[in-house]
Amino acid sequence: MKKWILIALCMTAHQLMAANQPNIVLLFSDDAGYGDFGFHNSYHFKTPHLDQLAKDGVRLSNFYVSGATCGPSRAGLLSGIYQQRFGYEEINIPKIMSESSKLEGEAMGLPTDLKTMGNYLQELGYRTAVFGKWHQGEGGQFHPINRGFDEFYGFRGGARSFFAYKNPSKAPPEKLMERGFENYQEHEGYLTDVLADETCNFIERSKEGPFFAYVSFNAVHTPMEPDPKDAAEFPQLEGKRRAVAQMTLSMDRACGQIIDKLKALGLYENTIIVFSNDNGGPTDSNGSGNYPFSGVKATQLEGGIRVPGLISWPGKLAAGAVYDYPLITLDLIPTFVKAGGGDPGAIDGLDGVDMVPYLTGANKERPHQVLHWKMETRGAIRDGDWKLLRYPDRPAELFNLAEDLGEQNNLAAQYPEKFKELFRKQFAWELELARPLWMLRRQEEGWSSRRTDTFRKPPSATY
Q: Which of 4, 37, 56, 38 is nearest to 268 (CA)?
A: 56
Q: Consecutive sets of 10 residues in the chain, 463 residues long: mean pLDDT of each?
A: 52 57 98 98 96 98 97 98 96 63 74 97 98 96 97 97 94 95 95 98 97 98 98 97 98 98 98 98 95 96 98 97 98 98 97 98 98 96 98 96 98 98 98 89 42 55 49
Torsion of CA 226, 232, 237, 240, to 10 degrees: 20
Closest CA to 79 of 133, 107, 27, 120: 120
- As a whole number of angstroms, the distance between CA 355 and CA 377 comes to 31
Which residues in 160-177 are b (16+ Cβ under 10 Å) and which e? bebbbbeeeeebeebbbb
CA-CA distance, 66 to 84, in Å (whole number)?
9
Task: Give this prediction's pTM.
Answer: 0.93
Sorted by sequence, the CB contacts under 8 Å of residue 102 that are 6+ apart come out as none
At 390, which amino acid appears? R
Spatial contact of 190 and 168, defined as CB atoms under 8 Å apart: no
> What is the model's pLDDT at position 231?
97
Half-sphere exposure in the Cβ direction for 386 (13 Å, CA)? 19
Other Cβ atoms within 10 Å of 309 Cβ, number: 26
Burial of 207 (0-12, 13-18, 19+ CB in 10 A): middle
What sign does the dihedral 13-15-21-26 (CA atoms) show?
positive
Strand partners, 213: 25, 129
Which run of H or E residues covers position 2?
Answer: helix 2-20
Full set of structural domains in the chain with CATH: 23-368 (3.40.720.10), 372-455 (3.30.1120.10)
Terminal alpha carbon distance of the chain? 70
pLDDT at 1: 56
